[in-house]
Amino acid sequence: MGAFCQCQLEGEKKVEKINDSDQNKSDSNRHEISTKSNTLTFTEAWDEIFGRKISKDRLYAEIRAKRLPHSRIGSRILLRRDSLEAWFIQQESSNSTIN
């Protein structure tokens, strides 16, 4: 008989059914959730989108200069994954020259 795993994701509950065959897997594999949130914190965006290829200071500077799409809630900076990916595409096309 399958078991159930209840996981907490930023204010929303997700219940997953775990198959009997899955019970033999380690807890870390069983509880791993493959869905990615579209809303990212500053650190998540720096890590996941920018791959830590630029400094945090440079990323803050780009946000302060309003060159990156973002929102602020109080002092918290939030970025949308899809907006950043669209921004990257736009930057790539505007930086390339066609001869």
Give Cα separations from 10 to 13, 25, 36 (angstroms): 8, 25, 12
48 and 62 assigned to the same domain: yes
Q: What range defines the domain where residue 16 resides? A: 1-34
Predicted local distance difference test score (pLDDT) of residue 96? 81
45 and 86 assigned to the same domain: yes
21 and 50 assigned to the same domain: no
Q: What is the pLDDT of residues 8-61, one digit of tens each?
A: 444 444 444 445 544 454 444 444 444 789 999 999 999 999 999 999 999 999
